[in-house]
């Protein structure tokens, strides 16, 4: 898989070298509150998560989760991905950023770029997104990306109702 670039960002496919990054990102209080606890407690947990969740989709489909790197700072600032999930008919786009990099347009810049990539390179025209009711900033971003609220969904083995969007 290759890297993609925007004016300010590099989107690099997630790999095992990103274990420390995902361990930190996925344990942010905001990530756990709005996206969920992925039970990553050690670097080994993060490596296993990448190996079992991210890499198989990347190898099978050619796209997946990307680490977002700020060009000027040469720093990993967040992640954006398009995921094919069991029980969801439409691939979904998701994003998470470190608090210092929220509200600066990086999530929109990386997500709109990835939407164009999966459309032009992989033929994926229809995308979905899900977020909790209280995550207003994600709802605004999802709508800015051109997705509209359709219904509430509950994943198997979960009891939280999520807002489901599609374009």
Assigned domain for 128 exists: no
- What b/e string do you get for 122-157 counting C-beta neighbours within 10 Å, with b at 16 or more? eebeebbbbbbeebeebbebbeebebeeeeeeeeee
pTM of the model: 0.94
pLDDT band at 30 (very low <50, low <70, confident <90, very high): very high
- Residue 57 in domain: yes
User: In the chain, pLDDT over 70 holds for what percent of residues?
Assistant: 100
Domain of residue 87, CATH code: 3.40.630.30
Tell me if 141 is assigned to some domain: no
Give yes or no for a contact between 167 and 126, defined as CB atoms under 8 angstroms apart.
yes
Instruction: Answer whether residue 53 is part of any domain.
Output: yes
pLDDT at 74: 98
The predicted structure's pLDDT at residue 46: 98
- Provide the pLDDT for residue 85: 86
- Domain that includes residue 51, residue range: 4-123
Structural domain contains residue 97: yes
Residue 136 is assigned to a structural domain of this protein: no
In a domain, 150, yes or no: no
Structure tokens at 57: 């989709």
143 belongs to a structural domain: no
Indicate the SS3 state at residue 48: helix
Q: How do residues 110-155 score in pLDDT, each as one tens digit?
A: 999 999 999 999 999 999 999 999 999 999 999 999 999 999 988 7
The number of distinct structural domains making up the chain is: 1
Q: What is the mean pLDDT of the chain?
A: 95
């Amino acid at each position: 898989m290759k890297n993609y670039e925007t004016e300010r960002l590099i989107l690099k496919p997630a790999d095992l070298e990103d274990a420390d990054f995902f361990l930190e990102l996925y344990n942010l209080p905001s990530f756990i509150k709005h996206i969920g606890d992925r039970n990553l407690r050690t670097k080994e947990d993060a490596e296993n998560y990448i190996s079992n969740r991210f890499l198989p989709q990347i190898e099978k489909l050619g796209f997946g989760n990307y680490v977002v790197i700020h060009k000027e700072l040469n720093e990993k600032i967040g992640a954006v991905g398009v995921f094919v999930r069991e029980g969801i008919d439409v691939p979904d786009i998701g994003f998470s950023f470190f608090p210092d990099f929220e509200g600066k347009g990086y999530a929109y810049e990386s997500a709109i770029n990835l939407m164009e990539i999966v459309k032009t390179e992989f033929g994926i025209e229809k995308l979905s997104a899900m977020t909790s009711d209280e995550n207003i900033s994600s709802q605004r971003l999802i709508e800015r990306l051109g997705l509209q609220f359709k219904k509430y969904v509950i994943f198997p083995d979960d009891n939280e109702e999520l807002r489901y969007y599609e374009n």
